[in-house]
Amino acid sequence: MEEFPVIKVRKGKVKRGEKIWKKRDALQVIEELVKQYDMVYIIDVDGYNRNNTNLDLYKKIGKNLWIDSFPRRVEDVVDLIVVGAERITIKNMEGENIKELKEICEKDIYISGDDPDAFNKLVKYNLKGLVIEEVQEIKKDVQTWKIYKEEWVIKRVK
């Protein structure tokens, strides 16, 4: 089963479990996780709350990042690609924006199961897969990843 570590980033600080790292230590933690697991799933709290993604931090790493920052526009996703995201999770993005995104982007785009129309968008726009929370279930036969908050991992379950 494929699985990657999950971290949260807020104001340049990295949190995993009860530990929080700042500045250079935060960068080092991400780099070590990427080295050990080949990829890290990042929940960008600033992206979710204020559409102010921690792009400078990601640019320093530049590869093997799966970023979930609640991008609202195509330009937000392009910014993530420029700084090194290889996989991106979107949520509640309008259909015309997803269509445009698929036309200009070759990266793996996943959709959050929190989006009320997630499955229809996944199929219609040929997205890579679905990201759901531990308590959510999916009965459809699509690539599905589940975030386990207590373990701080994301695992492929389908």
Q: Please list, in sequence order, all residues whose beta carbon lies within 8 angstroms of the beta carbon of residue 50, skipping any fewer than 6 positions away.
A: none
* pLDDT above 80: residue 1: no
The per-residue pLDDT for 51 is 87
Q: Please list, in sequence order, all residues whose beta carbon lies within 8 angstroms of the beta carbon of residue 78, skipping any fewer than 6 positions away.
A: 104, 105
The per-residue pLDDT for 93 is 93
Give the 3-state secondary structure of residue 41: strand
Give the 3-state secondary structure of residue 135: coil
Burial class (CB in 10 A: 0-12, 13-18, 19+), 44: buried
The per-residue pLDDT for 36 is 96
Residue 33 to residue 65: CA distance in whole angstroms? 10
Which one has a higher pLDDT value, 4 or 92?
Answer: 4
- If you average pLDDT over residues 139-148, what whole number do you get? 93
Mean pLDDT of the chain: 95
* pLDDT above 90: residue 138: no
* pLDDT above 90: residue 131: yes
Residue 50 to residue 48: CA distance in whole angstroms? 6
Spell out the domains of the chain, with CATH numbers in brackets.
Answer: 3-156 (3.20.20.70)
In the chain the first and final C-alpha atoms are separated, in Å, by 9
Helix boundaries (H) for 1-68: 23-37, 45-50, 55-61
* pLDDT above 90: residue 70: yes
Q: What is the DSSP letter of 50?
A: H
The per-residue pLDDT for 140 is 85
* pLDDT above 90: residue 67: yes
The per-residue pLDDT for 22 is 96
Residue 45 to residue 18: CA distance in whole angstroms? 16
